[in-house]
A and B are shown apart, each in its own frame.
Chain A
Amino acid sequence: MPVTDLANPTRFLTLVNRVLPWLVAATCVLFAIGLIRAMSAPDDYQQGATVKIMYLHVPAAWLGMFGWGLMSIAALGTLVWRHPLADVAGKAAAPIGAAFTFICLVTGSLWGRPTWGTYWVWDARLTSMLVLLLLYLGVLALYWTAEEPGRGARAAAILSLVGAVNLPIIKFSVDWWNTLHQPASVFRMGGSTIAPALLTPLLIMALAFTLLFVTLHLAIMRNEILRRRVRSMRLVQAQELHA
């Protein structure tokens, strides 16, 4: 099947129905392996067992940002090519990205209390991540309160593109400003500073969370396509009743 065929909602639904069970199975297997590896990984020499929070916090942070990146690309599809599936993809990414950003903030706070001595500090990394959550809530409000889906989609696409400015701010906040949050330690020039015994479970958990994101994204896209079909059929039904 050519990639361009996926732009057709019916073909897209057929593909999603085919791949979803496999994605669910792969996600469960990866989570099982990742959690076993995370629970049996050694403690950090400074932080002790609280380092286990890293296996949730770091993937959640990555996926919170990934979700917004995905929405920004989808926003281009909505505004430039006006493709309905682009809007569906953007709308489907918003609740997942918001959930992962929320997880990132809560787990970070729970990790911060024993390691920094505080749940929260208004440093650049934490604040820019909180801004990301607020942006997600703004996009969700635009989608859920718009009376006409097309109008909501355009407004949400514009906010997605404007909000993309926050992504490099989050990423480089620890380099540009003096923050309590540590600098990058996985993807950095000169390689990771994390010991392999801790890094391997982290990467497995990151892959598991990424597969969960993809699985949920496809499932929410499928729901949204069905919702639009229901809406369109109800409009036809209403017009027939009035005719």
Chain B
Amino acid sequence: MNLGPHAEFIVAAYAVTAFVVAALIAWVALDYSAQRRVLDDLEERGVTRRSQRKE
């Protein structure tokens, strides 16, 4: 594949896009495991939400 005389612009565009998308995916994945960990910890300690309580 020949990207011609402006190859650096094409490569830079794909690199920036890949970096931003990867950063977004990593943030979502890390945030999910962090929330899950805290939630599991709270549930383990017997803390419940008001809506889960049976009066």
Contacts and interface: CB of A to CB of B under 8 A. Distances in A.
B42 A223 contact: no
A106 B13 contact: yes
Contacts of B48: 233, 236
A106 B19 CA distance: 12
A interface: dominant SS: helix
B interface: dominant SS: helix
Contact of B35 (A43, A95, A226): A226
B54 to A, nearest CB: 14
Nearest to B42: A233
B24 A216 contact: yes
B9 to A, nearest CB: 5
Contacts of B5: 48
Interface string B1-31: 1111111011011101100110011011001
Given A53-B10, A229-B49, A107 B42 contact: no
A99 B35 contact: no
Q: Interface size for chain B: under 10, 10 to 19, 20 to 34, or 35 or more residues?
A: 20 to 34
Contact of A110 (B13, B20, B27): B13
Contacts of B39: 226, 229-230, 233
Given A103-B17, A236-B50, A223 B35 contact: yes
Interface string B35-55: 110110010010111100000
